[in-house]
Structure 1
Amino acid sequence: MAIERKDRPQTVKVWLNLLGRYGFNFDWFEERHNTKWAALGALAAVAGVFVGIYFGFMSLKNSTPSPQVEPTPSEEETL
């Protein structure tokens, strides 16, 4: 590691690439997969929202109201 901050690797990716013998090179992954995975994640999120809205409305539509309990007439009212 260099003493001066400006001479040090600024990211872990750069540091790993400087090691060389391990052959870490993440540039190909970032270029090819970032947009693909971001688009796939966004599509999954939008689909999840629509599915949630659909099932939410269906549960409201199919819910049965709770039964109304009518008071039992007392003996005085029936006489």
Structure 2
Amino acid sequence: MGSAEKKFSATEESDSKHPSDWGRAMAVAMSRLVELAHEAGDVVEDENLYGEDLHLYVTETDHGANITMSWTPSTSPSRGPADEDQ
């Protein structure tokens, strides 16, 4: 994949302090990680996040929480759904 030594990080805001309401902010941050990898010149898709360690950092805001997801891609590409059929 080429980003083995790169680390990507994205922060999104949730307007709730309840963890059960943070899903959308987490999903947007995860999608942003893939966008950042594209911007860095890597050929990745959402499926490249499968099997990867994603780090979550949550900070409280006045009205909710900031959700920060970070990702350091592994040296070998993750198996995507198309690879599982082979």
Do Structure 1 and Structure 2 share a fold, with TM-score over 0.5? no
Q: Give the structure with the higher percent helix.
A: 1
| TM-score (structure 1 length as normaliser) | 0.29
Highest CA radius of gyration, 1 or 2?
Answer: 1
Q: Give the structure with the higher percent strand.
A: 2
| TM-score (structure 2 length as normaliser) | 0.26
